[in-house]
Structure 1
Amino acid sequence: MKKWISPSLLAITFVLSAIGHYANWDHTLQFVLSAIAVVFVAGFLGRATESVAHYAGQRLGGFLNATFGNAAELIIAFFLVREGLYDMVKASLTGSIIGNLLLVLGLSIFAGGLKYKVQNFNVTLAGLNGSLMIVGVIALFVPAVFLNTHSITELETDTLSLVVAGVLIISYLAWLGFSMITHKKYLDDVTEDKEEELPNEHAPSWSKGKSILYLILATVMVAFVSEWLVGTLESLTERFGLSELFVGAFLVAIIGNAAEHSAAILLAMKNKIGAAVEIAVGSSLQIALFVAPVLIFASYFTGNTMDIVFTTIELVAIGVAVFIAKSITQDGATNWYEGLLLLAVYIILGVSFFLV
């Protein structure tokens, strides 16, 4: 699925981005080169993770996919935290959540629906995913309400943010245990069409040792290109008059999720809508329940805690995305028109964010 991301092509994009950064080229050109490099490196990281997961087995493989699935977004956000760009961090988290729930899921359902009239997946898993998404919204909504109504002070907000972050991480780890160990068979997708699956479709193209080496190498490369990308964002927003909200919520989010976008769409077109939904919704859950809380603790250890209070616009965007995504997926069946509805909501939000 990501075989077009070859090591040689990856090396070329990485080297060009490095030259642009260290030669101090125009910041806009640096941004373009870094963005392209992030897309290729994230895709290569995903391919390496899948290969390692094949050798590691189902349980450890699932953990590796959960850990590295959002590596690009997490590392980009970490460098934003280090630079103190908390507003852009929250915007990028918002963009990742709504991008996966509306753009990725919408394109997947639409593309799959054009080929298959109705596509089905595990309705129990759909319901649990919906409940987890609502928990994520509650975790963002409660601190904002208490701070904005002056029920708690800013110092108390930092404490509440750390507590909420801890609860979310525990909830996420419990979900991993529930979905991959104790209730794995209960949540298996038995409705997918297996007839189109080729015998060696999922066979890794690399050896175990090479897969691990590429995984480590790709993670290091993601760290470098993410730092280079972040270094150009302030200049980019000033030059083109873009808001941090739009840059974080749409540009950074789309770049970081590019590899996952293609994977979900291709799976849906093979009538594997359950796997496509897992990529889209599962990635959003990782952002809300794991990545965001980890960043809260990361900021705490830097000496300046980033609170978990999102703006009203961000909360509305996330709430709308969760509401429509849960509404469409809760019956375990999808069609192309439902995908179109998700894309329509994404366009509405995109234009609104651009005009802010």
Structure 2
Amino acid sequence: MRKQISTLLLIASFVLSGIAHYTHMNAIVQFILSAIAVIFVAGFLGRATENVSHYAGQRLGGFLNATFGNAAELIIAIFLVKEGLYDMVKASLTGSIIGNLLLVLGASLFAGGLKFKVQKFNVSLAGLSGSLMIVAVISLFVPAVFLNTHSITKEDTDTLSLIVAVVLIVAYLAWLLFSLVTHKDYLDDVTEDSEEELPHEHAPAWSRNRAVSYLVLATVMVAFVSEWLVGTLETFTTQFGLSELFVGAFLVAIIGNAAEHSAAIMLAMKNKVGAAVEIAVGSSLQIALFVAPVLIIVSSFMSHGVMDIVFTTIELVAIGVSVFIAKSITQDGATNWYEGLMLLVVYIMLGVSFFLV
């Protein structure tokens, strides 16, 4: 009965949000209906991810969730790039990275830690993921320093941005090969398939094919709802006097990461913290090493010119701080609720700072 009610609410919220968008209702009404729809669609995506991870394993399931979740974000960002809204795109990329590392990971560790005293995952995976995030920070830091010190021209910066973008994509593809193929066993989660730690684990509700189909369907729904919601943000932010930086880094990012929020928290509360970490950290890696570089390359084919990889000082500090605290907390391969709380505290401090800019 509960599942039927949940399904009806999912369909109703999605349909009402679509009607509000295509009939051009009041922007505030559209925003509220779309935000409600995002909550239900994210829950649907979380259930689909949980079922897929049962068949594919926690790490691959988490990777699929991050990939499908970021696919919607990539589509939205490409439309923003087409309009030449490069500052908004960069702010949303910043928000996605810090949102995943601080909000998604923090909420997951906090929720899971309240139920399980200590949760463990593969320490080697945590170390390598943290090092990759540092590489991403370096890729953002170097071009900004060279441009701001006038060591290179704007044209050289565009060239450097394209070269760095290609290098990062190659590095990310090599990481997928390393983590999912050549060293898959080395990075397997320590709690996977452990009946002792999952005493109440049940068989998946859906078959393999049905779970994958629902994962694809949920991703498509997330893409539509996210686009409808983003379409209302300009009116919403103007009415409430919010800055473009805050909107891009927090509102757009939180909306785009709604799917990851739901799935990661659900998995952590089932003691599958490895999958939760894979979703949060893996999604940040994907944004920094794949989505951002792809957007830079795509922008080179647009009429507005190349979107360089130079982020503002505020954005660089926010990303650097997020990577530092996330790596510090996850490097030992064990987590608890207080570590999750620390991540959330840093996220709140950054959020207030961005709001006041």
Settle same-fold status: TM greater than 0.5: yes
Match in the other structure for 1:248: 248
1:350 is matched with 351
**Structure 1 residue identity aligned to 2:348:** I
Comparing 12-21 and 173-182, the one that deviates more: 12-21
- 8 Å CA contact 1:104–1:261 kept in 2: the answer is yes
Is the CA contact (8 Å cut-off) linking 2:70 and 2:283 kept in structure 1? yes
What letter corresponds to residue 341 of structure 1 in structure 2?
M
TM-score by length of 2: 0.88
* Aligned partners of 1:102 and 1:321 also within 8 Å: yes
1:194 corresponding residue in structure 2: 195
Which stretch of the first structure deviates more once superposed, 197-206 or 275-284?
A: 197-206
TM value normalised by structure 1: 0.88
Summarize the Cα distance change of 1:68–1:309 in structure 2 as closer, same or farther, 3 Å threshold.
same
Corresponding residue number in structure 2 for 1:320: 321
1:317, distance to aligned residue in structure 2 (A): 0.3
Which residue in the other structure is 1:68 paired with?
A: 68
Distance 1:308 1:5 in 2: 46
Partner AA of 1:203 in structure 2: P
Residue 107 (structure 1) shift: 1.8
Aligned equivalents of 1:108, 1:340: Cα separation in 2 = 10
Q: Which residue of 1 aligns with 2:341?
A: 340
Query: Are the structure 2 counterparts of residues 80 and 270 from structure 1 closer, same or farther at C-alpha, using a change threshold of 3 Å?
Result: same
AA partner of residue 112 (structure 1):
G
Aligned length in residues: 353
Q: How far apart, in 2, do the equivalents of 1:77 and 1:10 lie?
A: 25
Q: CA deviation at 1:241?
A: 0.7
Counterpart AA for 2:338:
Y
One-letter amino acid of the counterpart of residue 319, structure 2: I
Distance 1:331 1:58 in 2: 19
Residue number in structure 1 paired with 2:32 = 32
CA distance 1:259–1:224, shift in 2 (3 Å): closer
- The aligned counterpart of 2:94 is 94
In the TM superposition, what is the alpha-carbon distance from 1:12 to its structure 2 partner? 1.7
Deviation at 1:10, TM superposition (A): 3.1
> 2:271 & 2:351 partners in 1: Cα distance?
29
Q: Residues 118 and 4 of structure 1: is their aligned pair in 2 closer, same or farther, counting only changes over 3 Å?
A: farther
Q: Which residue of 2 aligns with 1:120?
A: 120
- Report the equivalent of 2:330: 329
Q: Describe how 1:172-191 pairs up with structure 2 within 5 A.
A: 172-191=172-191
After superposition, residues 269-288 of structure 1 pair within 5 angstroms as: 269-288=269-288
Q: CA deviation at 1:55?
A: 7.1
Superposed displacement of residue 57, structure 1: 9.2
Partner letter of residue 325 of structure 1? A
In structure 1, list runs of 5 or more residues that go unmatched: none
Higher mean C-alpha displacement, 189-198 vs 332-341: 189-198
SS for the counterpart of 1:309 is coil
**In 1, distance between residues paired with 2:4 and 2:247?**
28
Query: Which residue in 2 is equivalent to 1:110?
Result: 110
CA displacement at 1:212 relative to structure 2:
5.7
Unaligned runs of 5+ in 2: none
41-50 or 71-80, which moves further after superposition?
A: 41-50
Q: Deviations over 1:292-326 (max 9, x none)?
A: 11221222222332111111101000000000111
Written as runs of structure 1 = structure 2, the 5 A alignment for 1:225-264 is: 225-264=225-264
Give the superposition deviation at 1:40.
Answer: 3.4
Change (3 A) 1:148 1:175: same
Aligned Cα root-mean-square deviation (Å): 2.8
Give the fraction of aligned pairs with identical amino acids, expressed as a percent. Answer: 78
Q: 1:58 Cα shift?
A: 9.8
Offset at residue 62 of structure 1 (A): 7.8
Alignment match, 1:160: 160
What does the per-residue CA deviation read over 1:145-185, in whole Å, with 9 as the maximum and x for residues that have no partner?
11111122222222211111111111111111101110000
Q: Separation in 2 of the partners of 1:266 and 1:59? A: 15
Question: What code does the residue aligned with 1:353 have?
Answer: F
Aligned match of 1:82: 82
Change (3 A) 1:6 1:116: closer
Give the Cα separation in 1 of the matches to 2:79 and 2:169: 21
Q: Distance in 2 between matches of 1:171 and 1:138?
A: 13
Report SS of the residue matched to 2:198: coil
Letter in 2 for 1:319: G
Cα–Cα, structure 1 residues 227 and 111, in superposed 2: closer, same or farther, change >3 Å? closer
| Residue 25 (structure 1) shift | 1.3
Whole-angstrom distance in 1 between the partners of 2:347 and 2:18: 33
Partner Cα separation in structure 2 for residue 173 and residue 244 of structure 1 = 32
- Distance change >3 Å, CA 94–CA 244, structure 1 → 2: same
